[in-house]
A and B are shown apart, each in its own frame.
Chain A
Amino acid sequence: MKIAVCLKRVPDTEMRFAIAADGTSLDSAGLKYDISDFDGYAVEIALRLNEQQGPGEVVVVALGPDALQETLRKALSMGVDRGIHLQADPVPYDGFSIAQALASELAGQGFDLILFGRVATDTGNGMVGPMTAHLMDLPCVTAISRLEIAAGKGTAHRELEGATETVTFPLPAILTIDEGIARPRLPSLKGIMAAKKKPIESRPAALGPVRLTVDRLELPPERAGGRIVGEGPDAVPELVRLLHEEAKVL
């Protein structure tokens, strides 16, 4: 199958996290970037589908500055065949603007599947996949936790609150991939070397107008100093009293 995976380069915020002086973005000093977690699952699924179903092509597509190429190369070193870098610096917050750039790039290229991660770990919106699907008039299933493809059709599981949906759809389709579906493989060192020779095309992103912007980025409010109500079982009556009278949650 010819599969496109749309991925996002996101900062790794486990180690360093500070807000920049301008108050609207992260302080970039010492920030490392990587493929957004859920997009990694999507890449893995794409590679596995072609491993199981016979040879095909996997292409990764992403928006970003020049430094994005290193992230695309990581996908190439996992086994992806080629990359498409849509130049955008900065990448807008507005998912609809991004979806328009992706739809414009992907249209008419004959992909059997276009995969996204369910949600990006920086912006946490999960909207670019379904928006792109609408713009391309392709069937779309989001938040897939299990996937099977056979003879031009797909079956997927989605988790709702307290229930699991089974969904069928025809190909070509756009899918967004949830966690737990597959662990992304580590690139092998030979894969890293082979990636150097794989092509990455680079061109400006045809972004749509931007209507959603970030006014401010702040740390979450420090929870006002809590208190230790007491020690051991003797503190229980006081806790229950506070929960009822003060916090009003009981």
Chain B
Amino acid sequence: MADTFAFAEFRAGAFRKVAFETVSAARRAADATGGGTVTALAMGAPGLSAKAAELGRYGADRVIVVEHAELARYSPEVFAGTAAAQLKAGSYRAGFFSASAEGRDLAPRVAAALGQSLASDITSFEITADALTARHPVYVGKAIATLRLTGTPALVSLRPGAMVAVEQSRTAQVETAAPALDPASARVVVTELAQRPAARMDLGEAPVVISGGRGLKSAENFKLVEDLASAFGNAAVGATRAVTDDGWRPSSDQIGQTGRLVSPALYVAVGISGAIQHLAGMRTARVIVAINRDKDAPIFKVADYGIVGDLFEVVPPLIEAVKRARAEHQ
């Protein structure tokens, strides 16, 4: 029976989707090693404890809540110190973090504090008493490495969206704890957190990504992509490098080797030819749809479903059809 640990990311008054993925993974790991206890740690501003029980829905048996007025924002030293102290206080077989922006900062610090290594940004894992093996895309997605991690606790961070959060009923026991160090003593201080004016979901979190390329011919025509994203309701808008280089879309929207790497459930490529450096950013999406008027475009080789045609003729009816389908199946 092995106990596992999960760090559950909490921001702006709610658990992020990746928190559920992390707890879910810790649950699966505990079950795979004889069914031990899953302990989740959540840190944030006062009010967090009211939400803590949510983590039981994803398999947490225990939720340790660290609430403090100064923890409304991430503080690397306090968060890392507290997570490390909690991990040391139990006897955990494995510890799970998200490889979100926060997690990528947090997990390595915790690992070093525990004198352990870290398998970061993994897309799947198997665990036994002696070893944890995990898969991780390397060379910007050109290859998949199967890694072997020894040492206890085995610490991993999960690529957001790669492992689906599985719901199950469990009553989580909520305990409170203090931060391991006084937040006022932190040397690195977050002085501001500016939400970007985003009407859209973030590319890394959205289950659906609609992306546009040169085929759209102008910045104004990106409205078609945005409308299709709105039709899906839970979609973010991405772009190819050609289009961000030309200034039609901000560079933070760029999907590709030197931009964002995304793994949505559905990726729709509109007017994108499928250059290798773009594919590197989206090839791990579960389902890929391509719309392009060139039947020989490389994108069709990776797309599960393709429509060959003029996107200006295909996308408007597609927008209507998606809206209808969602209304029907809601």
Do the two chains touch directly in the complex (Cβ atoms below 8 Å apart)?
yes
The B interface is mostly helix, strand or loop, or mixed, namely mixed
Task: Pick from B108, B118, B196, B266 the residue with the most CB of A within 10 Å.
Answer: B108
Which residues does chain B contribute within 8 Å of A131, judged by CB atoms? 108-109, 111-112, 118
Cα separation A247 to B302 with both chains bound (whole Å): 15
Cα separation A63 to B117 with both chains bound (whole Å): 18
Q: Of the candidates A126, A167, A179, A232, which one forms a contact with B120 in the assembled complex, judged by CB atoms under 8 Å apart?
A: A126
> Is B322 a contact partner of A215 (Cβ separation < 8 A)?
no
> Is B288 a contact partner of A124 (Cβ separation < 8 A)?
no
> Is A161 a contact partner of B321 (Cβ separation < 8 A)?
no
Q: Of the candidates B144, B252, B322, which one forms a contact with A220 in the assembled complex, judged by CB atoms under 8 Å apart?
A: B144
**Interface 9-residue window, one of A73-81, A83-91, A94-102, A199-207:** A94-102
Chain B: residues with Cβ within 8 Å of the partner, total of: 89
Q: Of the candidates A139, A211, A247, which one forms a contact with B188 in the assembled complex, judged by CB atoms under 8 Å apart?
A: A139
The A interface is mostly helix, strand or loop, or mixed, namely mixed
> Is A236 a contact partner of B318 (Cβ separation < 8 A)?
yes
Say if the beta carbon of A141 comes within 8 Å of chain B: yes
Q: How far is the CB of A208 from chain B (nearest CB, A)?
A: 9
**Interface 9-residue window, one of B23-31, B63-71, B133-141:** B133-141
Cα separation A218 to B105 with both chains bound (whole Å): 28
Say if the beta carbon of A188 comes within 8 Å of chain B: no
> Is A127 a contact partner of B287 (Cβ separation < 8 A)?
no
Which residues does chain B contribute within 8 Å of A231, judged by CB atoms? 307-309
Q: Of the candidates A139, A140, A165, A180, which one forms a contact with B73 in the assembled complex, judged by CB atoms under 8 Å apart?
A: A165
> Is B303 a contact partner of A96 (Cβ separation < 8 A)?
no
Say if the beta carbon of B224 comes within 8 Å of chain A: no
Q: C-beta contact mask, B277-321 vs A, less than 8 Å → 1, else 0?
A: 000000110111100000100001111111111100110111001
Q: Of the candidates B136, B204, B306, which one forms a contact with A227 in the assembled complex, judged by CB atoms under 8 Å apart?
A: B306
Which residues does chain B contribute within 8 Å of A111, judged by CB atoms? none
> Is A95 a contact partner of B117 (Cβ separation < 8 A)?
yes
Say if the beta carbon of B151 comes within 8 Å of chain A: yes
Which residues does chain B contribute within 8 Å of A216, judged by CB atoms? 145-146
Starting from the known contacts A139-B187, A211-B116, A250-B266, 7 additional A-B residue pairs (CB-CB under 8 Å) come to A166-B192, A211-B151, A217-B143, A219-B144, A232-B307, A232-B313, A243-B289
